[in-house]
Amino acid sequence: MVDLTMNRAPPNPEIALSSRQAAIRALFDQLAPRRDFWLARNRYFYEADHDYMRFLIPAGASVLEIGSGDGQLLAALRPARGVGLDFSPEMIRLARKKHPQCEWHLANAEDPAALGSISGPFDYIVISDTIGLIEDCETLFQVLHQFTSPYTRVIIAYYSHLWDPLLRLAERLGYKMPQAPQNNLPTADIANLLGLADYELVRREWRQLLPRRIFGLGTLINRFVAPLPGIRRLALRNYVVARPVPRRARLAHPPSVTIVIPCRNERGNIENAVRRMPAFAPDIEIIFVEGHSKDGTFEECERVRGAYPDRDIKILRQDGKGKGDAVRKGFAAARGGVLMILDADLTVPPESLPRFYDALVLGRGEFINGTRLVYPMEAEAMRFLNGIANRGFAILFSYLLNQRFTDTLCGTKVLWRRDYDHIVANRGYFGEFDPFGDYDLIFGAVKLNLKIVEVPVRYAGRFYGETQISRFTHGWLLARMVLFAWRKLKAF
Protein backbone atom coordinates (compact mmCIF):
# COMPACT_ATOMS: atom_id res chain seq x y z
CA MET A 1 0.00 0.00 0.00
CA VAL A 2 1.38 3.42 -0.96
CA ASP A 3 1.67 6.27 1.57
CA LEU A 4 -0.03 9.16 -0.25
CA THR A 5 1.48 11.75 2.10
CA MET A 6 4.80 11.15 0.32
CA ASN A 7 3.34 12.04 -3.10
CA ARG A 8 1.96 15.55 -2.75
CA ALA A 9 1.50 17.28 -6.07
CA PRO A 10 2.02 20.96 -6.71
CA PRO A 11 -1.26 22.85 -6.97
CA ASN A 12 -2.88 22.90 -10.40
CA PRO A 13 -4.88 26.10 -10.92
CA GLU A 14 -7.05 24.46 -13.60
CA ILE A 15 -8.38 21.64 -11.42
CA ALA A 16 -9.93 21.97 -7.96
CA LEU A 17 -8.79 18.95 -5.90
CA SER A 18 -8.91 18.01 -2.25
CA SER A 19 -5.63 17.11 -0.56
CA ARG A 20 -6.48 13.40 -0.94
CA GLN A 21 -7.27 13.83 -4.63
CA ALA A 22 -4.05 15.79 -5.16
CA ALA A 23 -2.06 12.97 -3.59
CA ILE A 24 -3.81 10.38 -5.77
CA ARG A 25 -3.02 12.49 -8.83
CA ALA A 26 0.64 12.67 -7.83
CA LEU A 27 0.77 8.90 -7.45
CA PHE A 28 -0.64 8.29 -10.91
CA ASP A 29 1.59 10.91 -12.48
CA GLN A 30 4.49 9.02 -10.93
CA LEU A 31 3.24 5.64 -12.21
CA ALA A 32 2.41 6.79 -15.75
CA PRO A 33 5.88 6.13 -17.30
CA ARG A 34 5.68 2.45 -16.24
CA ARG A 35 2.02 1.91 -17.16
CA ASP A 36 2.84 -0.32 -20.14
CA PHE A 37 5.06 -2.46 -17.90
CA TRP A 38 2.17 -3.17 -15.52
CA LEU A 39 -0.20 -3.86 -18.41
CA ALA A 40 2.22 -6.41 -19.86
CA ARG A 41 2.86 -8.05 -16.47
CA ASN A 42 -0.90 -8.61 -15.96
CA ARG A 43 -1.90 -9.08 -19.59
CA TYR A 44 -4.24 -12.03 -18.92
CA PHE A 45 -6.23 -10.08 -16.31
CA TYR A 46 -6.68 -7.06 -18.57
CA GLU A 47 -7.59 -9.15 -21.62
CA ALA A 48 -10.28 -11.00 -19.66
CA ASP A 49 -11.61 -7.76 -18.22
CA HIS A 50 -11.76 -6.13 -21.66
CA ASP A 51 -13.52 -9.18 -23.12
CA TYR A 52 -16.31 -8.93 -20.57
CA MET A 53 -16.59 -5.15 -20.91
CA ARG A 54 -16.96 -5.62 -24.68
CA PHE A 55 -19.77 -8.09 -23.95
CA LEU A 56 -21.54 -5.41 -21.89
CA ILE A 57 -20.82 -2.55 -24.32
CA PRO A 58 -21.26 -3.18 -28.06
CA ALA A 59 -18.80 -1.59 -30.47
CA GLY A 60 -19.99 1.67 -31.97
CA ALA A 61 -21.62 3.05 -28.81
CA SER A 62 -20.92 6.45 -27.25
CA VAL A 63 -18.93 5.93 -24.05
CA LEU A 64 -17.80 8.23 -21.25
CA GLU A 65 -15.13 6.82 -18.92
CA ILE A 66 -14.49 8.32 -15.49
CA GLY A 67 -10.89 7.82 -14.35
CA SER A 68 -9.72 6.74 -17.79
CA GLY A 69 -5.99 6.56 -17.01
CA ASP A 70 -3.96 5.94 -20.15
CA GLY A 71 -7.12 5.08 -22.13
CA GLN A 72 -6.43 1.40 -22.81
CA LEU A 73 -9.93 0.25 -21.71
CA LEU A 74 -11.86 2.98 -23.54
CA ALA A 75 -9.96 2.33 -26.77
CA ALA A 76 -10.54 -1.44 -26.41
CA LEU A 77 -14.31 -0.83 -26.41
CA ARG A 78 -14.14 0.56 -29.98
CA PRO A 79 -16.65 3.36 -29.36
CA ALA A 80 -18.09 5.58 -32.08
CA ARG A 81 -17.45 8.40 -29.64
CA GLY A 82 -15.18 7.81 -26.67
CA VAL A 83 -14.58 10.46 -24.02
CA GLY A 84 -12.16 9.92 -21.14
CA LEU A 85 -11.80 12.00 -17.96
CA ASP A 86 -8.87 11.88 -15.57
CA PHE A 87 -7.21 14.36 -13.23
CA SER A 88 -3.70 12.97 -13.79
CA PRO A 89 -1.95 15.13 -16.41
CA GLU A 90 0.58 12.38 -17.16
CA MET A 91 -2.10 9.75 -17.72
CA ILE A 92 -4.03 12.10 -20.02
CA ARG A 93 -0.80 12.84 -21.92
CA LEU A 94 -0.30 9.07 -22.44
CA ALA A 95 -3.92 8.59 -23.53
CA ARG A 96 -3.71 11.35 -26.13
CA LYS A 97 -0.49 9.90 -27.51
CA LYS A 98 -1.63 6.24 -27.61
CA HIS A 99 -5.30 6.69 -28.58
CA PRO A 100 -5.84 9.92 -30.52
CA GLN A 101 -9.16 8.63 -31.89
CA CYS A 102 -10.84 9.38 -28.54
CA GLU A 103 -11.41 12.64 -26.64
CA TRP A 104 -9.37 13.12 -23.45
CA HIS A 105 -10.15 15.72 -20.80
CA LEU A 106 -8.04 16.71 -17.81
CA ALA A 107 -10.78 17.24 -15.24
CA ASN A 108 -12.14 16.29 -11.83
CA ALA A 109 -15.36 14.41 -12.55
CA GLU A 110 -16.76 15.32 -9.13
CA ASP A 111 -16.70 19.03 -10.03
CA PRO A 112 -19.69 19.95 -12.26
CA ALA A 113 -18.08 23.25 -13.24
CA ALA A 114 -15.14 21.39 -14.79
CA LEU A 115 -17.32 19.37 -17.17
CA GLY A 116 -19.03 22.14 -19.11
CA SER A 117 -17.05 21.48 -22.28
CA ILE A 118 -18.34 17.90 -22.58
CA SER A 119 -21.63 17.30 -24.35
CA GLY A 120 -23.87 14.30 -23.68
CA PRO A 121 -25.77 12.13 -23.40
CA PHE A 122 -23.79 8.89 -23.68
CA ASP A 123 -24.96 5.33 -24.24
CA TYR A 124 -22.61 4.07 -21.51
CA ILE A 125 -20.73 5.61 -18.59
CA VAL A 126 -17.84 3.47 -17.35
CA ILE A 127 -16.28 3.72 -13.89
CA SER A 128 -13.54 1.07 -13.89
CA ASP A 129 -11.18 0.73 -10.90
CA THR A 130 -12.10 4.26 -9.90
CA ILE A 131 -15.06 3.89 -7.51
CA GLY A 132 -12.69 3.15 -4.62
CA LEU A 133 -10.85 6.45 -5.17
CA ILE A 134 -13.87 8.73 -5.42
CA GLU A 135 -14.13 11.41 -2.73
CA ASP A 136 -17.95 11.48 -2.68
CA CYS A 137 -19.65 8.76 -4.71
CA GLU A 138 -23.17 10.13 -4.31
CA THR A 139 -22.07 13.52 -5.62
CA LEU A 140 -20.34 11.89 -8.60
CA PHE A 141 -23.45 9.89 -9.49
CA GLN A 142 -25.57 13.05 -9.28
CA VAL A 143 -23.13 14.95 -11.51
CA LEU A 144 -23.26 12.17 -14.10
CA HIS A 145 -27.02 12.67 -14.64
CA GLN A 146 -26.16 15.54 -17.00
CA PHE A 147 -24.64 12.92 -19.34
CA THR A 148 -27.46 10.37 -19.18
CA SER A 149 -30.63 9.68 -21.11
CA PRO A 150 -33.30 7.14 -20.06
CA TYR A 151 -31.34 4.57 -22.08
CA THR A 152 -27.88 5.19 -20.60
CA ARG A 153 -26.20 2.39 -18.66
CA VAL A 154 -23.66 3.07 -15.92
CA ILE A 155 -21.09 0.25 -15.57
CA ILE A 156 -18.96 0.05 -12.44
CA ALA A 157 -16.06 -2.43 -12.33
CA TYR A 158 -14.02 -2.94 -9.18
CA TYR A 159 -11.99 -5.41 -7.11
CA SER A 160 -13.62 -7.55 -4.44
CA HIS A 161 -12.36 -6.57 -0.99
CA LEU A 162 -12.05 -10.27 -0.16
CA TRP A 163 -8.87 -10.06 -2.23
CA ASP A 164 -7.30 -7.14 -0.33
CA PRO A 165 -4.64 -9.23 1.50
CA LEU A 166 -3.53 -10.95 -1.72
CA LEU A 167 -3.49 -7.70 -3.67
CA ARG A 168 -1.37 -5.96 -1.04
CA LEU A 169 1.03 -8.90 -1.12
CA ALA A 170 1.17 -8.74 -4.93
CA GLU A 171 2.06 -5.04 -4.70
CA ARG A 172 4.91 -5.70 -2.28
CA LEU A 173 6.28 -8.49 -4.51
CA GLY A 174 6.10 -6.28 -7.60
CA TYR A 175 3.37 -8.23 -9.43
CA LYS A 176 0.74 -5.50 -9.27
CA MET A 177 0.79 -1.77 -9.89
CA PRO A 178 0.78 0.21 -6.60
CA GLN A 179 -2.64 1.52 -5.65
CA ALA A 180 -3.95 4.29 -3.41
CA PRO A 181 -6.04 3.42 -0.32
CA GLN A 182 -9.54 2.47 -1.46
CA ASN A 183 -13.03 3.20 -0.18
CA ASN A 184 -14.43 0.02 1.35
CA LEU A 185 -17.52 -0.34 -0.84
CA PRO A 186 -19.18 -3.77 -1.10
CA THR A 187 -21.83 -4.09 -3.79
CA ALA A 188 -24.65 -3.46 -1.31
CA ASP A 189 -23.11 -0.08 -0.46
CA ILE A 190 -22.61 0.80 -4.14
CA ALA A 191 -26.26 -0.10 -4.80
CA ASN A 192 -27.35 2.09 -1.89
CA LEU A 193 -25.30 5.06 -3.14
CA LEU A 194 -26.72 4.59 -6.64
CA GLY A 195 -30.22 4.54 -5.18
CA LEU A 196 -29.61 7.77 -3.26
CA ALA A 197 -28.58 9.39 -6.54
CA ASP A 198 -31.65 8.08 -8.45
CA TYR A 199 -30.18 5.06 -10.21
CA GLU A 200 -31.26 1.44 -9.96
CA LEU A 201 -29.37 -1.81 -10.44
CA VAL A 202 -30.01 -3.71 -13.66
CA ARG A 203 -27.55 -6.58 -13.18
CA ARG A 204 -24.29 -7.64 -11.53
CA GLU A 205 -21.61 -10.18 -12.39
CA TRP A 206 -18.49 -11.78 -10.90
CA ARG A 207 -15.42 -12.77 -12.96
CA GLN A 208 -11.86 -14.09 -12.66
CA LEU A 209 -11.32 -16.54 -9.83
CA LEU A 210 -7.73 -16.95 -10.99
CA PRO A 211 -6.40 -13.77 -12.70
CA ARG A 212 -3.32 -15.46 -14.17
CA ARG A 213 -3.01 -17.72 -17.20
CA ILE A 214 -0.68 -20.34 -15.55
CA PHE A 215 -0.29 -22.52 -18.67
CA GLY A 216 -4.05 -22.47 -19.36
CA LEU A 217 -5.15 -23.42 -15.84
CA GLY A 218 -6.53 -19.93 -15.20
CA THR A 219 -8.62 -20.07 -18.36
CA LEU A 220 -10.13 -23.45 -17.41
CA ILE A 221 -10.96 -22.37 -13.87
CA ASN A 222 -12.42 -19.05 -14.95
CA ARG A 223 -14.61 -20.69 -17.59
CA PHE A 224 -15.91 -23.73 -15.75
CA VAL A 225 -15.42 -23.21 -12.00
CA ALA A 226 -15.63 -19.45 -11.41
CA PRO A 227 -19.22 -19.09 -12.76
CA LEU A 228 -20.65 -21.72 -10.35
CA PRO A 229 -23.17 -20.53 -7.73
CA GLY A 230 -21.50 -19.63 -4.45
CA ILE A 231 -18.00 -19.89 -5.88
CA ARG A 232 -18.53 -16.92 -8.19
CA ARG A 233 -18.87 -14.61 -5.15
CA LEU A 234 -15.17 -15.30 -4.46
CA ALA A 235 -14.04 -13.91 -7.82
CA LEU A 236 -11.63 -10.99 -8.01
CA ARG A 237 -13.62 -8.86 -10.43
CA ASN A 238 -17.09 -7.44 -9.70
CA TYR A 239 -19.33 -5.61 -12.19
CA VAL A 240 -22.48 -3.58 -11.55
CA VAL A 241 -24.78 -2.23 -14.28
CA ALA A 242 -27.28 0.50 -13.37
CA ARG A 243 -29.69 2.82 -15.15
CA PRO A 244 -31.15 6.23 -14.27
CA VAL A 245 -34.47 5.82 -12.47
CA PRO A 246 -37.13 6.77 -15.03
CA ARG A 247 -39.47 9.58 -14.05
CA ARG A 248 -42.17 9.08 -16.64
CA ALA A 249 -45.73 10.25 -16.23
CA ARG A 250 -48.44 8.85 -18.46
CA LEU A 251 -47.59 10.13 -21.93
CA ALA A 252 -49.79 12.75 -23.59
CA HIS A 253 -49.44 10.81 -26.85
CA PRO A 254 -49.24 7.08 -25.97
CA PRO A 255 -47.16 5.03 -28.41
CA SER A 256 -48.61 2.76 -31.05
CA VAL A 257 -48.62 -1.01 -30.52
CA THR A 258 -48.16 -4.04 -32.73
CA ILE A 259 -49.40 -7.37 -31.33
CA VAL A 260 -47.91 -10.36 -33.13
CA ILE A 261 -49.95 -13.57 -32.80
CA PRO A 262 -48.18 -16.69 -34.10
CA CYS A 263 -50.82 -19.28 -34.94
CA ARG A 264 -50.69 -22.86 -36.14
CA ASN A 265 -53.82 -25.05 -36.01
CA GLU A 266 -55.61 -22.43 -33.89
CA ARG A 267 -58.71 -21.78 -36.01
CA GLY A 268 -61.06 -21.77 -33.02
CA ASN A 269 -59.11 -19.07 -31.18
CA ILE A 270 -58.61 -16.47 -33.90
CA GLU A 271 -61.86 -14.52 -33.51
CA ASN A 272 -61.62 -14.53 -29.70
CA ALA A 273 -58.12 -13.07 -29.92
CA VAL A 274 -59.58 -10.05 -31.75
CA ARG A 275 -62.94 -9.81 -29.98
CA ARG A 276 -61.39 -9.94 -26.49
CA MET A 277 -58.55 -7.53 -27.27
CA PRO A 278 -58.96 -4.33 -25.17
CA ALA A 279 -58.47 -0.95 -26.85
CA PHE A 280 -55.63 -0.03 -24.45
CA ALA A 281 -53.72 2.20 -26.91
CA PRO A 282 -54.96 4.68 -29.51
CA ASP A 283 -53.26 2.80 -32.37
CA ILE A 284 -53.19 -1.01 -32.25
CA GLU A 285 -51.99 -3.20 -35.10
CA ILE A 286 -52.67 -6.95 -34.94
CA ILE A 287 -50.52 -9.28 -37.05
CA PHE A 288 -51.41 -12.96 -37.36
CA VAL A 289 -48.46 -15.05 -38.54
CA GLU A 290 -49.84 -18.38 -39.71
CA GLY A 291 -47.58 -21.43 -39.68
CA HIS A 292 -48.74 -24.03 -42.27
CA SER A 293 -51.91 -25.09 -40.43
CA LYS A 294 -54.06 -28.05 -41.40
CA ASP A 295 -57.32 -26.87 -39.81
CA GLY A 296 -58.05 -23.76 -41.92
CA THR A 297 -56.42 -21.24 -39.58
CA PHE A 298 -55.23 -19.01 -42.45
CA GLU A 299 -58.72 -18.86 -43.97
CA GLU A 300 -60.18 -18.07 -40.52
CA CYS A 301 -57.71 -15.20 -40.14
CA GLU A 302 -58.93 -13.78 -43.45
CA ARG A 303 -62.58 -14.13 -42.39
CA VAL A 304 -61.96 -12.39 -39.06
CA ARG A 305 -60.12 -9.56 -40.78
CA GLY A 306 -63.20 -8.95 -42.93
CA ALA A 307 -65.55 -9.24 -39.95
CA TYR A 308 -63.69 -6.56 -37.94
CA PRO A 309 -62.95 -3.74 -40.42
CA ASP A 310 -62.48 -1.27 -37.55
CA ARG A 311 -59.38 -3.19 -36.43
CA ASP A 312 -56.01 -2.94 -38.19
CA ILE A 313 -55.45 -6.66 -38.87
CA LYS A 314 -52.72 -8.05 -41.09
CA ILE A 315 -52.05 -11.69 -42.02
CA LEU A 316 -48.67 -13.18 -42.87
CA ARG A 317 -47.70 -16.72 -43.75
CA GLN A 318 -44.53 -18.20 -42.29
CA ASP A 319 -41.64 -19.04 -44.57
CA GLY A 320 -39.94 -21.32 -42.04
CA LYS A 321 -41.06 -23.28 -39.00
CA GLY A 322 -41.41 -22.65 -35.30
CA LYS A 323 -42.67 -19.82 -33.15
CA GLY A 324 -39.30 -18.06 -33.23
CA ASP A 325 -39.46 -17.77 -37.01
CA ALA A 326 -43.04 -16.46 -36.78
CA VAL A 327 -42.14 -13.81 -34.21
CA ARG A 328 -39.19 -12.56 -36.25
CA LYS A 329 -41.34 -12.32 -39.38
CA GLY A 330 -44.12 -10.48 -37.53
CA PHE A 331 -41.78 -8.02 -35.82
CA ALA A 332 -40.03 -7.29 -39.11
CA ALA A 333 -43.39 -6.24 -40.62
CA ALA A 334 -44.61 -4.34 -37.53
CA ARG A 335 -45.12 -0.58 -37.56
CA GLY A 336 -45.85 -0.05 -33.84
CA GLY A 337 -43.49 1.66 -31.40
CA VAL A 338 -44.26 -1.09 -28.85
CA LEU A 339 -44.01 -4.77 -29.84
CA MET A 340 -46.00 -7.52 -28.14
CA ILE A 341 -46.35 -11.27 -28.51
CA LEU A 342 -49.62 -13.02 -27.71
CA ASP A 343 -49.86 -16.79 -28.09
CA ALA A 344 -52.86 -17.81 -30.15
CA ASP A 345 -53.94 -20.43 -27.60
CA LEU A 346 -55.09 -17.48 -25.40
CA THR A 347 -53.89 -19.22 -22.24
CA VAL A 348 -52.51 -15.77 -21.42
CA PRO A 349 -55.72 -13.72 -21.65
CA PRO A 350 -55.73 -10.80 -24.11
CA GLU A 351 -57.37 -8.78 -21.32
CA SER A 352 -54.02 -8.78 -19.45
CA LEU A 353 -52.11 -6.88 -22.19
CA PRO A 354 -52.87 -3.38 -20.83
CA ARG A 355 -50.79 -4.17 -17.71
CA PHE A 356 -47.81 -5.13 -19.90
CA TYR A 357 -48.23 -1.92 -21.89
CA ASP A 358 -48.36 0.24 -18.76
CA ALA A 359 -45.29 -1.43 -17.23
CA LEU A 360 -43.29 -0.55 -20.36
CA VAL A 361 -44.67 2.90 -21.15
CA LEU A 362 -44.49 4.15 -17.53
CA GLY A 363 -40.83 3.13 -17.35
CA ARG A 364 -41.13 0.33 -14.79
CA GLY A 365 -39.14 -1.88 -17.11
CA GLU A 366 -37.73 -2.04 -20.63
CA PHE A 367 -38.42 -5.71 -21.32
CA ILE A 368 -41.67 -7.03 -19.86
CA ASN A 369 -41.91 -10.79 -19.42
CA GLY A 370 -45.10 -12.60 -18.45
CA THR A 371 -45.07 -15.20 -15.70
CA ARG A 372 -47.72 -17.90 -15.31
CA LEU A 373 -46.24 -19.38 -12.14
CA VAL A 374 -47.19 -16.78 -9.53
CA TYR A 375 -50.99 -16.94 -9.40
CA PRO A 376 -52.92 -20.22 -9.19
CA MET A 377 -53.81 -21.46 -12.67
CA GLU A 378 -56.90 -23.16 -13.97
CA ALA A 379 -57.09 -26.92 -13.57
CA GLU A 380 -55.17 -28.74 -16.33
CA ALA A 381 -53.93 -25.45 -17.79
CA MET A 382 -50.38 -26.82 -17.49
CA ARG A 383 -49.43 -30.47 -17.18
CA PHE A 384 -47.60 -31.45 -13.98
CA LEU A 385 -44.29 -32.34 -15.66
CA ASN A 386 -44.42 -29.15 -17.73
CA GLY A 387 -44.85 -27.11 -14.57
CA ILE A 388 -41.86 -28.79 -12.89
CA ALA A 389 -39.72 -28.28 -16.01
CA ASN A 390 -40.75 -24.62 -16.36
CA ARG A 391 -39.77 -23.87 -12.76
CA GLY A 392 -36.49 -25.74 -13.13
CA PHE A 393 -35.50 -23.96 -16.32
CA ALA A 394 -36.49 -20.61 -14.77
CA ILE A 395 -34.04 -21.24 -11.91
CA LEU A 396 -31.27 -22.27 -14.31
CA PHE A 397 -31.74 -19.29 -16.60
CA SER A 398 -32.01 -16.88 -13.64
CA TYR A 399 -28.52 -18.02 -12.64
CA LEU A 400 -27.14 -17.94 -16.18
CA LEU A 401 -28.57 -14.50 -16.94
CA ASN A 402 -28.10 -12.91 -13.49
CA GLN A 403 -31.72 -11.78 -13.73
CA ARG A 404 -34.59 -13.20 -11.71
CA PHE A 405 -37.05 -15.14 -13.86
CA THR A 406 -39.93 -17.21 -12.58
CA ASP A 407 -41.10 -18.25 -16.05
CA THR A 408 -38.92 -17.91 -19.15
CA LEU A 409 -41.36 -19.72 -21.45
CA CYS A 410 -44.44 -17.56 -20.97
CA GLY A 411 -45.27 -16.53 -24.52
CA THR A 412 -46.19 -12.92 -23.76
CA LYS A 413 -43.23 -10.55 -24.03
CA VAL A 414 -43.28 -6.80 -24.62
CA LEU A 415 -40.53 -4.35 -25.56
CA TRP A 416 -39.90 -1.08 -27.40
CA ARG A 417 -39.36 -1.33 -31.13
CA ARG A 418 -36.04 0.56 -30.83
CA ASP A 419 -34.73 -2.02 -28.35
CA TYR A 420 -35.81 -4.88 -30.61
CA ASP A 421 -33.88 -3.23 -33.47
CA HIS A 422 -30.78 -3.21 -31.23
CA ILE A 423 -31.35 -6.90 -30.41
CA VAL A 424 -31.46 -7.64 -34.15
CA ALA A 425 -28.30 -5.62 -34.75
CA ASN A 426 -26.49 -7.62 -32.05
CA ARG A 427 -28.02 -10.99 -32.91
CA GLY A 428 -24.75 -12.16 -34.43
CA TYR A 429 -23.35 -12.76 -30.93
CA PHE A 430 -25.89 -15.52 -30.23
CA GLY A 431 -26.93 -16.41 -33.78
CA GLU A 432 -30.19 -18.00 -34.96
CA PHE A 433 -30.30 -20.52 -32.14
CA ASP A 434 -33.85 -20.36 -30.75
CA PRO A 435 -36.85 -22.21 -32.26
CA PHE A 436 -39.14 -20.88 -29.50
CA GLY A 437 -38.47 -17.16 -29.94
CA ASP A 438 -38.49 -16.55 -26.17
CA TYR A 439 -34.76 -16.90 -25.57
CA ASP A 440 -33.70 -14.92 -28.61
CA LEU A 441 -35.46 -11.95 -27.00
CA ILE A 442 -34.45 -12.69 -23.39
CA PHE A 443 -30.76 -13.19 -24.22
CA GLY A 444 -30.79 -10.09 -26.40
CA ALA A 445 -32.41 -8.03 -23.65
CA VAL A 446 -29.85 -9.23 -21.10
CA LYS A 447 -26.94 -8.43 -23.40
CA LEU A 448 -28.34 -4.91 -23.91
CA ASN A 449 -28.66 -4.52 -20.12
CA LEU A 450 -32.37 -3.77 -20.37
CA LYS A 451 -34.35 -3.55 -17.15
CA ILE A 452 -36.41 -6.76 -17.07
CA VAL A 453 -39.70 -6.82 -15.18
CA GLU A 454 -42.14 -9.72 -14.84
CA VAL A 455 -45.91 -9.26 -14.95
CA PRO A 456 -47.89 -12.12 -13.37
CA VAL A 457 -50.86 -13.43 -15.35
CA ARG A 458 -53.56 -15.94 -14.54
CA TYR A 459 -52.89 -18.86 -16.84
CA ALA A 460 -56.07 -20.21 -18.43
CA GLY A 461 -56.87 -23.58 -19.97
CA ARG A 462 -57.21 -24.01 -23.72
CA PHE A 463 -60.61 -23.42 -25.30
CA TYR A 464 -59.65 -24.93 -28.66
CA GLY A 465 -56.95 -27.22 -30.04
CA GLU A 466 -53.99 -28.98 -28.48
CA THR A 467 -50.70 -27.75 -27.09
CA GLN A 468 -47.86 -27.35 -29.58
CA ILE A 469 -45.30 -28.24 -26.88
CA SER A 470 -43.76 -31.70 -26.72
CA ARG A 471 -42.52 -32.37 -23.17
CA PHE A 472 -39.60 -34.51 -24.24
CA THR A 473 -38.57 -33.12 -27.64
CA HIS A 474 -38.77 -29.51 -26.49
CA GLY A 475 -37.35 -30.41 -23.08
CA TRP A 476 -34.25 -31.72 -24.83
CA LEU A 477 -34.02 -28.51 -26.88
CA LEU A 478 -34.22 -26.48 -23.67
CA ALA A 479 -31.47 -28.54 -22.07
CA ARG A 480 -29.28 -27.84 -25.11
CA MET A 481 -30.03 -24.13 -24.74
CA VAL A 482 -28.88 -24.21 -21.13
CA LEU A 483 -25.48 -25.42 -22.37
CA PHE A 484 -25.56 -22.83 -25.15
CA ALA A 485 -26.30 -20.06 -22.63
CA TRP A 486 -23.49 -21.25 -20.33
CA ARG A 487 -20.98 -21.07 -23.17
CA LYS A 488 -22.13 -17.66 -24.41
CA LEU A 489 -22.79 -15.94 -21.08
CA LYS A 490 -20.47 -17.56 -18.54
CA ALA A 491 -17.63 -19.56 -20.09
CA PHE A 492 -15.73 -16.89 -21.97
| pLDDT tens track for 89-114 | 999 999 999 999 999 999 999 888 88
Q: Which residues contact 326 (CB under 8 A, 6 or more apart)?
A: 260, 262, 289, 291, 318, 437
Domains 4-244 and 257-489 share a fold: no
Handedness of CA 393, 210, 76, 136 (dihedral sign): positive
**What's the predicted TM-score (pTM) here?**
0.83
Strand 257-263 with 62-66, pairing: unpaired
Asked whether the predicted pLDDT for residue 137 surpasses 50, the reply is yes
Q: What's residue 3's pLDDT?
A: 44
Asked whether the predicted pLDDT for residue 313 surpasses 50, the reply is yes
Query: Which pLDDT band holds residue 374 (cuts at 50, 70, 90)?
Result: low
- DSSP state, 5? G
Q: What's residue 459's pLDDT?
A: 72
Asked whether the predicted pLDDT for residue 440 surpasses 90, the reply is no
Q: What's residue 463's pLDDT?
A: 61
Q: What's residue 480's pLDDT?
A: 77
- 63-87: per-residue pLDDT in tens? 999 999 999 999 999 999 999 999 9
Instruction: Please give the Cα distance from 112 to 145 (Å, whole number).
Output: 11
Return the percentage of the chain with pLDDT > 90, whole number: 58
**Contact present, 26 and 11 (Cβ < 8 Å):** no
Q: What's residue 49's pLDDT?
A: 96
Query: Which pLDDT band holds residue 412 (cuts at 50, 70, 90)?
Result: very high
Instruction: Please give the Cα distance from 255 to 270 (Å, whole number).
Output: 25
Mean pLDDT of 295-310: 96
Enter the CATH code of domain 4-244. 3.40.50.150
Instruction: Please give the Cα distance from 118 to 128 (Å, whole number).
Output: 20
- DSSP state, 202? E
**Contact present, 179 and 232 (Cβ < 8 Å):** no
Domain ranges of the chain: 4-244, 257-489
Instruction: Please give the Cα distance from 123 to 153 (Å, whole number).
Output: 6
Q: What's residue 97's pLDDT?
A: 96
- DSSP state, 199? E
Mean pLDDT comparison of 41-50, 189-198, 438-447, 471-480, highest-scoring range: 41-50
Mean residue pLDDT across the chain: 87
Q: Of residues 360 and 407, which shows the higher confidence score?
A: 360
Annotate 252-296 with DSSP letters as a single string: SSPPPEEEEEEESS-GGGHHHHHHT----SSSEEEEEEE---SSS
Query: Which pLDDT band holds residue 461 (cuts at 50, 70, 90)?
Result: low
- Angle formed by the axes of helices 19-31 and 89-98, to 10°? 40
**Contact present, 235 and 211 (Cβ < 8 Å):** no
Enter the CATH code of domain 257-489. 3.90.550.10
- 155-187: per-residue pLDDT in tens? 999 999 899 899 999 999 988 998 888 887 888
Query: Which pLDDT band holds residue 390 (cuts at 50, 70, 90)?
Result: low
**Contact present, 448 and 419 (Cβ < 8 Å):** yes
- DSSP state, 322? S
**Segments of 12-123 assigned E as strands:** 62-66, 81-86, 103-106
Q: For residue 418, with 0-12 CB atoms within 10 Å meaning exposed, 13-18 middle and 19 or more buried, which class applies? A: exposed
Instruction: Please give the Cα distance from 288 to 315 (Å, whole number).
Output: 5
